[in-house]
């Protein structure tokens, strides 16, 4: 019989460490618009807001003629 001597190539397993709990979500956002959609219930645009860290995404339907103040209100109430 032939016996092969194998050198251990794997590193020994260490004690597992739990990931840190992130308390500061919604710091880095991605905001985009999906425009020129067919009219449905008098809405033709979608506001997309995504948190880059947790990948939570919100979709808010609105119109293209929206003003900045109303857009801020939509963001606050829906996100």
Structural domain span for residue 37? 29-78
Q: Percent of the chain beyond pLDDT 70?
A: 80
| Cα 45 from Cα 35, distance rounded (Å) | 5
| Cα 56 from Cα 60, distance rounded (Å) | 13
Residue 2 within any structural domain of the chain: no
Does residue 3 carry a pLDDT above 70? Answer: no
Convert the pLDDT of each residue in 32-62 to its tens digit.
999 888 988 888 999 999 988 888 899 998 8
Contact 48, 33 (CB under 8 A): yes
Own/partner pairs for 61-67, CB < 8 Å, 24+ apart? 64/35, 64/36
- Number of folded domains that form the chain: 1
72 closest CA partner among 31, 40, 43: 31
Both tokens of 3, joined, read: 């016996």
Residue 18 within any structural domain of the chain: no
């Amino acid at each position: 019989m032939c016996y092969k001597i194998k050198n251990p190539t794997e590193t020994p397993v260490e004690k597992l460490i739990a990931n840190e709990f992130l308390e500061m979500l919604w710091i880095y956002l991605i905001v985009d618009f999906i425009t020129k959609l067919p009219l449905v219930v008098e809405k033709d645009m979608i506001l997309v807001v995504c948190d880059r860290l947790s990948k939570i995404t919100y979709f808010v339907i609105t119109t293209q003629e929206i003003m900045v103040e109303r857009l801020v209100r939509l963001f606050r109430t829906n996100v």
